[in-house]
Amino acid sequence: MQGTIIYKGKYGATEQYATWAGKELNIPVKVTDECSDSDLAKTDFLVLGTSVYIGVLVIKEWIKNNIESIAGKKIYLFVVCGTPINETEKLEGYVKSSLPEQVFKNCKIYYLPGRLIFKKLSWSDKFLLRIGYLLSPKKQKESMHLTDYDSVKKENLSGLINDVKKEFSPGKQVVSPG
What mean pLDDT comes out for the span 116-137? 80
pTM: 0.84
Beta bridge partners of 116: 149
Residues 26, 107 within the same domain: yes
In a domain, 52, yes or no: yes
Into how many domains does the chain fold?
2
| pLDDT of 176 over the 50 cut | no
Question: What pLDDT score does 175 carry?
Answer: 41
Structural domain for 140, as ranges: 118-150
- Inter-residue contact 77 to 109 (CB < 8 Å): yes
In a domain, 176, yes or no: no
Q: How confident is the model at residue 119 (pLDDT cuts 50, 70, 90)?
A: confident
Residues 84, 66 within the same domain: yes
Residues 26, 110 within the same domain: yes
| pLDDT of 11 over the 90 cut | no
Residues 24, 104 within the same domain: yes
Residues 43, 130 within the same domain: no
Q: What is the dihedral of CA 11, 12, 17, 18, to 10 degrees?
A: 100
Residues 7, 50 within the same domain: yes
In a domain, 109, yes or no: yes
Residues 36, 109 within the same domain: yes
DSSP state of 146: S
Residues 136, 86 within the same domain: no
CATH number at residue 65: 3.40.50.360
